[in-house]
Structure 1
């Protein structure tokens, strides 16, 4: 129930009215205006959209968002959508309902909170209510059905819960009912079938109790749109839906429906769009579907349908045909090439055979074609881009042969080309290398030959170039260095020769360079220090010579370096010790001299074998050194060593004392140059911080800088991040507005972190105490996390000691932190680098989300963040659509968080050599399919928690769905994780079925193969 109208309010309104008449007799505001000004008192209006409501007008008819009846000058419509308003709805409705002619009320996309009060039923003239995208909670009042004129009700994107009231079956005039993205958790009521006037019913994305589609919905004979996406529906599709003769859009996707597709759907003579994907439907498609003369889109993908694709389907005016991830067999009907409107054809992951029609695309405006993971053979049709609109061509994992059609070289609309894992031969057409809009070019594992054409200099948008396991030859063209957006260049197992061009060092965005197993020669370019983002460098099995450039030691994010089986000579640069390498291999070269001290360990033995001139403390590394001679000098060396150590200790102590005095004096002189910006009340000064920034206090280092532990005079500790000098901005990216009319969020990592963390207050976001800056140094001071990062702890020897309750608590804490960023910050914030190493743990293993150096705010228009020019994030955590489209929104963070959940369950790294070409997400999916859930869960976890672990695993798989629309919101993720524990003692849907996880995920076959 909403709170009653305050008793003083009528007196206040009367006083306001009398004062207005007395002081402004000519401009006195009418009664509707007085009510609206009272409404404004309950609203926070940070952007000043309602400033016109303060004008001394006689009526409110010229105020922003207000529409009046022209004759009576009384308010008929109030549209305050997207005004960034906040306030409690129960305080507004008593005033709004006093507007006698108000029929339209729209407050969508604001921060209106509290509940929907039952007294809204007193607004008897209301015909249109839109409260979508707000913060409303609680149950829906049954009194809504008492509004006699209500035709439109949209409550999308709130937090309403409980059940849909039974009274809703009494609506007299309702035409549109939209309850999308709420938290309704009871069954869908069958009495909704009594609203005979209904034209649109949308209940999608709610956690309803599993149950069947109410057959009574077949009584809604006026219904035009029925959306029940992701509503936990079970059982069969009722035949009664065939009675909906006016239905144009039917969406039952992402549910648990089974049985065959009912033949009664052939009675939907007005239907334009049918979406049944991601269910468990079986059998063949009913032949009667060929009579649906208006059908434009059919999506029955991700089911268990069998048989051949009906020829009659291809004779319809289809624009989109999606039947991927089923068990269709046979050949593709020839008549599909005659479909004049077909622009989308997705058939991947079936058992289709034969050739593609030779004129496919000649008469169709094809834009997206994906026939991956079938058994198609023959040549690729040369007509695919005849209409000039083809954007994506995905044909991986088939048996296509012959050359790549020359006509594709003229397809300037092409953005994504994946032809890997086929039997294609011949040379790639020259113009195809230089298409200006292609960002993904993959032809892995074919029989292609010839050079990379010089025309590649025109591929200005190319981000991923994957040519591995072919017969390409010739030199690497110098024009490759002009591809400023190139992130991944993989051309291993070919016959490329010559030296690497000097221009390749200009690839400042390069993350991966893999050219192993070619016949390259010459020395490495010296300017490789510009590869600041390089993560993997693999040049093994070539003929490269000369010294290993010491500049490699400045590539601070490099973690994979393989230069084995070449002709490198000279000493190993000691600068390589600066790197945090997971993989190092310099074996079988001509290296000589002593090993750098850091590498003189048994764990690195295999990294240096096959270098006869290399010496070190590892036995057997230096073949020329005489063991007898070595032992003969042991006594002398020991004596000299002891004396040297004593002298060194005395000297260091003297030097330390002198240096400390000098340092303190210098800081005293320079302290006025520091600027301190605090975000909380501080009990320390910048001098305490600066005096402790010694190498002895370093506790970590990353791509952005070093992190120090500083113990204050109070005994408390803080963490100080000192950013590297000269960190470059992310070129070409654009930050969204912090607020309407505000300044852009800077791309600089320091400014981004300060702007983001400085205004955040949440228990699961790391606290930024303050920042200190000079003209050349930038420091960020955080609360200290004694247990370090989740990634370091989970994947170390102590990871096995993390029991399941601790891991579960970490998951919930991190999810709540991200949910705050996505849903409670205004505007929302996208982290863009969610990973286990950016989740810090306090002394009690409570989790905090950290490192906001690449965070972005969401565009105030609600369209998300504009396309980034480069990829931000870490390998294994990057969402598929971000890596290939460079478009990012909250769904990208959700994918990355899903990977973290899989890490917590499996205790496996997101990218592991044991996975082969797969990452953790794909490894989990494949292992579940082939071996069952027991081979996925960390064996160190107690089996008594298996039910909870399986549920968290399911949440992780939902979050890592390749399609962003299938990933739940972070607010939903928090609720799912909380339910794991709260319902652990209650009967729930089993997560184990025949030894395997219940299928609740799918994998996009088009994203197999080499992924950046």
Structure 2
């Protein structure tokens, strides 16, 4: 269907803002108290005077000779934390001959005085931190002050209201807290712009700001005010041009007096809890260009009269409870470009006036109850770019004029009742990038040119009655990633040109009438991840060389007429987890190489396979995977007597081969045992000669093993259970036994010459992973933090010894062949365990610890599937002064948006990463990869929910889970993964929310459940 609402012009909620943009974004919060030097306690001197005394004499003299405004600026600089050195040039000693008016981020004005005066201070997006610098209030001729998008905290300054010349004040995108000072309603005699959006302001909504009668722009969006009605007093500010009150906790009805704002250009009351109808008086906003009312609880019919708004360009009232028919005059507003009314309860027909909308380029009406046909000339007079009418009951044919202007990019009309053919004109629409028309009643052939549209990346036509063939023109679709045409009546051979699509990830053409062989060229498409051609009439053999399918996860060729052997190369596909070749005419044996696969589904039933099953497949787990193959033998017993008389020579030959194989295996094992004993003997001799004493051992818990037990496991590569950027991890089985000490995990870090370690040091801000993990894990104790037994050091060699977690990492288990064994209670328990571990780090450690690399592979599972947070190689304690690093720590798909460009440590970055982990558990998807297209998991999930509903993104393996519980968990995950740090809850709150996800009876039942696997 569609993505979330987007900004339409600079007047609207901007995302993301350039530094000089007036309209604010909610903040990237890094609230940090100002550091106070201990020297100020010893010398009771004013800080500016103290700084002057510490300067070299020429520099102090230069500062002392500055005009007053610039001395105040130096005082303000001294009061701020400036990690990026953005204000380094504010230094009179650097260029004494240079006028201070040439300092960056300043503009001076001419005055009658010989000394210049500062009129503009523009400090937006400079990573400044601390409280508001009070010396700025001394700039008496200041006209514009912009401190937006920094990390300032503390209360709002009252002194600003006394500045006589101030016209524009922008403090948005910071972490200011507390209430808006009452003085803001009594001061500001000439203020035109007041932007406090995206902070942490609380208390009562500041209705008194309506007293600032000169205001033209009032922006208070995204602050957690106490729920309050829309202040009617604000509608009395006659000159108001921008009113941005989104996300302010507003309740009640929109006041009728809103129509009094004749100068209003941008009205944004979105993301509140407003109720009632949209007042008809909104049609009197004669200057309005943009109206944003989405994500409220508005009800009733849309008001008539909006067609008279001559300047209206953008109207968004989506995600409400609006009902009834759309007013016929809505689309008569002459400049109307975008209408978003999706996810409401609108009924009736789409107005015929839609065909006359001269400027309309974006129409989103999905998930309503609309019926009837579309205007036949819809698009003839409109420069349409985006059309989404999905999930309605629209009937009739697709208008042939939709792309008349040659700009249509996305056409989404899935789940309706459209009939007839796809217009030939759409095959000529070369601007199309996404076409979704599934689950309608379309018929006839697809326009030949439509197969080869050059910019199309998604063509979804499944669930119709389309016929004809797939033409060779598809070779021109160089950008095509997903071709979804299942459940139609397509026939003929699949064109060999499919092998020329460089970006094809999914080909789903099941339940059609395709015939002929599977083109060998398909085997060379290295991007292919899903191939579903079940229930066709394909014949011939499977392609032999499939090694390029390195991204293939699902292969379904069942219910065809395929012959020949199963290619052994299928066993070399690293991520294949679903293989279905059932109901064909395949012959030969089951390749032993298939044992290499981590399969959640294997079905080779109803073929003509013969011979002995590979040992892995002979167990009960795969008993239903080979039905209907009477020639197969399991555990020495054939499934039928058909092969009992196959010939004694063959039997004798197989016995001889078996004997020789067993003899060879015994010989190889003997040689391996000899070398193992020899190496162990030499190791012991070396240690006896005094080498052992060079190891430095630091213990953090009482252990019943020593370094000799640990070092012995490093001589056998068979003990390696994992390899990462920091080093190898070994499983060490110790002979002493004892309480939990029988098995440990040993991480051998790369030596100092390794490039991997160098990268780890850069990401860690100068510390290597060994120092970081020892410093962190050595001093913390929690049941959901992996236990560090001890560390060993000898020169460049460094070992970390942890408790052993039998079920490995969550990522390997969830995305491997055993992911289906994690039921909903287990996944919920893992979420709670990991959240409690992170909550301990953030709230119970002093100073707090930020993990910086939260991901599913760093969450380990014990024998009972309880989760523990691990791998603290890049973890850091949060000090009073925020740290900035030269490289990003973290993993692709998990990194919070603000961290990727600020490189600043914050607990909210961990919260975002944990939200991604929760989405992994709920969707079964990896955080990034070809199956998500160009999106990461967060954007994929949000888009999927908006298009197809919540159930469409949930892991099918959770189909038996209570829907209310999984939906509540999904809400928590999306809250954690909010793009704005201010909207993310603390980890302590996350734990509470997760504990409330499951019903009490579910929790009691979960306590009695046994572990699923070990």
Question: Under TM normalisation by the shorter chain, which class is it?
Answer: 0.7 to 0.9
Which is worse superposed, 365-374 or 787-796? 787-796
- Do residues 166 (structure 1) and 182 (structure 2) align? yes
- Do residues 563 (structure 1) and 581 (structure 2) align? yes
Structure 2 equivalent of residue 192 of structure 1 = 209
The structural deviation recorded for 1:603 is 1.9
Question: What secondary structure does 1:260 align onto?
Answer: coil
In the alignment, which of 366, 371, 376 is matched to residue 348 of structure 1? 366
Query: Quick check: 2:83–2:128 contact (8 Å CA) kept in 1?
Result: no
- Shift of the 970–652 alpha-carbon distance from structure 1 to 2, 3 Å rule, reads farther
In the alignment, which of 847, 865, 868 is matched to residue 869 of structure 2? 847
In the alignment, which of 880, 886, 895 is matched to residue 934 of structure 2? 886
Query: Quick check: 2:932–2:940 contact (8 Å CA) kept in 1?
Result: no
In the alignment, which of 911, 914, 934 is matched to residue 955 of structure 2? 911
Per-residue displacement from partner, 1:530-560 (whole Å, max 9, x unpaired)? 1111111111111111111111111111111
Question: What secondary structure does 1:528 align onto?
Answer: coil
Counterparts of 1:721 and 1:481, CA distance in 2: 43
Structure 1 equivalent of residue 628 of structure 2 = 610
Structure 1 equivalent of residue 571 of structure 2 = 553
The structural deviation recorded for 1:167 is 2.9
The structural deviation recorded for 1:148 is 3.1
Structure 2 equivalent of residue 406 of structure 1 = 424
Structure 2 equivalent of residue 19 of structure 1 = 57
Per-residue displacement from partner, 1:179-198 (whole Å, max 9, x unpaired)? 33323343422222222122
The structural deviation recorded for 1:396 is 0.6
- Do residues 520 (structure 1) and 538 (structure 2) align? yes
Query: Quick check: 1:272–1:294 contact (8 Å CA) kept in 2?
Result: yes
Structure 2 equivalent of residue 157 of structure 1 = 173
Counterparts of 2:929 and 2:973, CA distance in 1: 17
Please report the RMSD computed on the Cα atoms of aligned residues, expressed in angstroms: 5.4
Per-residue displacement from partner, 1:81-113 (whole Å, max 9, x unpaired)? xxxxxxxxxxxxxxxxxxxx2332222223222
Counterparts of 2:786 and 2:583, CA distance in 1: 46
The structural deviation recorded for 1:616 is 0.6
- Do residues 60 (structure 1) and 106 (structure 2) align? no
Counterparts of 2:112 and 2:801, CA distance in 1: 61
Question: What secondary structure does 1:352 align onto?
Answer: strand
TM-score norm. by structure 1 comes to 0.72
Structure 2 equivalent of residue 535 of structure 1 = 553
Structure 1 equivalent of residue 264 of structure 2 = 247
Structure 2 equivalent of residue 7 of structure 1 = 45
Query: Quick check: 1:367–1:392 contact (8 Å CA) kept in 2?
Result: yes
In the alignment, which of 99, 121, 125 is matched to residue 105 of structure 1? 121
Query: Quick check: 2:965–2:998 contact (8 Å CA) kept in 1?
Result: no
Per-residue displacement from partner, 1:509-539 (whole Å, max 9, x unpaired)? 2221111111111111122111111111111
In the alignment, which of 509, 516, 519 is matched to residue 491 of structure 1? 509
Structure 1 equivalent of residue 983 of structure 2 = 972
Query: Quick check: 2:558–2:582 contact (8 Å CA) kept in 1?
Result: yes
In the alignment, which of 446, 454, 467 is matched to residue 485 of structure 2? 467
Question: What secondary structure does 1:498 align onto?
Answer: strand
- Shift of the 48–326 alpha-carbon distance from structure 1 to 2, 3 Å rule, reads closer
Structure 1 equivalent of residue 835 of structure 2 = 811
- Shift of the 362–704 alpha-carbon distance from structure 1 to 2, 3 Å rule, reads farther
TM-score norm. by structure 2 comes to 0.72
Counterparts of 2:351 and 2:971, CA distance in 1: 38
The structural deviation recorded for 1:60 is 3.3
For structure 2, the residue ranges without an aligned partner over 5 or more in a row are: 1-32, 646-650, 687-696, 701-705, 736-740, 777-783, 873-889, 904-916, 1000-1014
Structure 2 equivalent of residue 397 of structure 1 = 415
- Shift of the 969–398 alpha-carbon distance from structure 1 to 2, 3 Å rule, reads same
Counterparts of 2:957 and 2:255, CA distance in 1: 48
- Shift of the 200–817 alpha-carbon distance from structure 1 to 2, 3 Å rule, reads farther
Counterparts of 2:711 and 2:127, CA distance in 1: 40
The structural deviation recorded for 1:61 is 3.8
Question: What secondary structure does 1:396 align onto?
Answer: coil
In the alignment, which of 152, 155, 168 is matched to residue 136 of structure 1? 152
In the alignment, which of 961, 964, 983 is matched to residue 936 of structure 1? 964
- Shift of the 937–52 alpha-carbon distance from structure 1 to 2, 3 Å rule, reads closer
Question: What secondary structure does 2:370 align onto?
Answer: strand
In the alignment, which of 97, 106, 127 is matched to residue 143 of structure 2? 127
In the alignment, which of 714, 717, 734 is matched to residue 745 of structure 2? 717
Structure 1 equivalent of residue 282 of structure 2 = 265
- Do residues 234 (structure 1) and 231 (structure 2) align? no
The structural deviation recorded for 1:574 is 1.1
The structural deviation recorded for 1:158 is 2.2
Query: Quick check: 1:878–1:895 contact (8 Å CA) kept in 2?
Result: no
In the alignment, which of 208, 212, 219 is matched to residue 236 of structure 2? 219
Counterparts of 1:39 and 1:468, CA distance in 2: 66
The structural deviation recorded for 1:405 is 0.8
Question: What secondary structure does 1:390 align onto?
Answer: coil
Counterparts of 2:172 and 2:787, CA distance in 1: 33
Counterparts of 1:50 and 1:543, CA distance in 2: 74
Structure 2 equivalent of residue 357 of structure 1 = 375
Counterparts of 1:706 and 1:852, CA distance in 2: 18
Query: Quick check: 1:749–1:853 contact (8 Å CA) kept in 2?
Result: no
Query: Quick check: 2:969–2:994 contact (8 Å CA) kept in 1?
Result: no
Per-residue displacement from partner, 1:808-846 (whole Å, max 9, x unpaired)? 352365699999xxxx999x99x8xx8745534689844
Counterparts of 1:396 and 1:461, CA distance in 2: 22
The structural deviation recorded for 1:57 is 3.4
Counterparts of 2:725 and 2:50, CA distance in 1: 60
Question: What secondary structure does 2:624 align onto?
Answer: helix
Question: What secondary structure does 1:280 align onto?
Answer: coil
For structure 1, the residue ranges without an aligned partner over 5 or more in a row are: 77-100, 628-632, 670-679, 723-747, 773-778, 865-871, 916-922, 925-933, 939-949, 961-966, 993-1012
- Shift of the 689–28 alpha-carbon distance from structure 1 to 2, 3 Å rule, reads farther
The structural deviation recorded for 1:117 is 5.0
Counterparts of 1:142 and 1:224, CA distance in 2: 25
Mapping of 1:687-698 within 5 angstroms?
692=714, 694=716, 696-698=718-720
Aligned residues: 858
Which is worse superposed, 293-302 or 783-792? 783-792
- Shift of the 559–446 alpha-carbon distance from structure 1 to 2, 3 Å rule, reads same
- Shift of the 14–114 alpha-carbon distance from structure 1 to 2, 3 Å rule, reads closer
Counterparts of 1:984 and 1:586, CA distance in 2: 41
Question: What secondary structure does 1:193 align onto?
Answer: helix
Counterparts of 1:348 and 1:522, CA distance in 2: 44
Counterparts of 1:114 and 1:335, CA distance in 2: 55
Query: Quick check: 1:516–1:538 contact (8 Å CA) kept in 2?
Result: yes
- Shift of the 802–115 alpha-carbon distance from structure 1 to 2, 3 Å rule, reads farther
- Shift of the 175–984 alpha-carbon distance from structure 1 to 2, 3 Å rule, reads farther
Query: Quick check: 1:492–1:516 contact (8 Å CA) kept in 2?
Result: yes
Which is worse superposed, 305-314 or 31-40? 31-40
Mapping of 1:343-742 within 5 angstroms?
343-617=361-635, 621-624=639-642, 652=669, 655-659=672-676, 661=678, 692=714, 694=716, 696-699=718-721, 708-709=730-731, 717-719=745-747
Structure 2 equivalent of residue 114 of structure 1 = 130
Query: Quick check: 1:21–1:28 contact (8 Å CA) kept in 2?
Result: no
Counterparts of 1:275 and 1:703, CA distance in 2: 47
Per-residue displacement from partner, 1:703-750 (whole Å, max 9, x unpaired)? 99996436899997334799xxxxxxxxxxxxxxxxxxxxxxxxx999
Counterparts of 1:216 and 1:230, CA distance in 2: 19
- Do residues 789 (structure 1) and 789 (structure 2) align? no
Question: What secondary structure does 2:100 align onto?
Answer: coil
Counterparts of 2:51 and 2:902, CA distance in 1: 40
Per-residue displacement from partner, 1:95-153 (whole Å, max 9, x unpaired)? xxxxxx23322222232222225565344433322222222233323333333333222
- Shift of the 383–539 alpha-carbon distance from structure 1 to 2, 3 Å rule, reads same
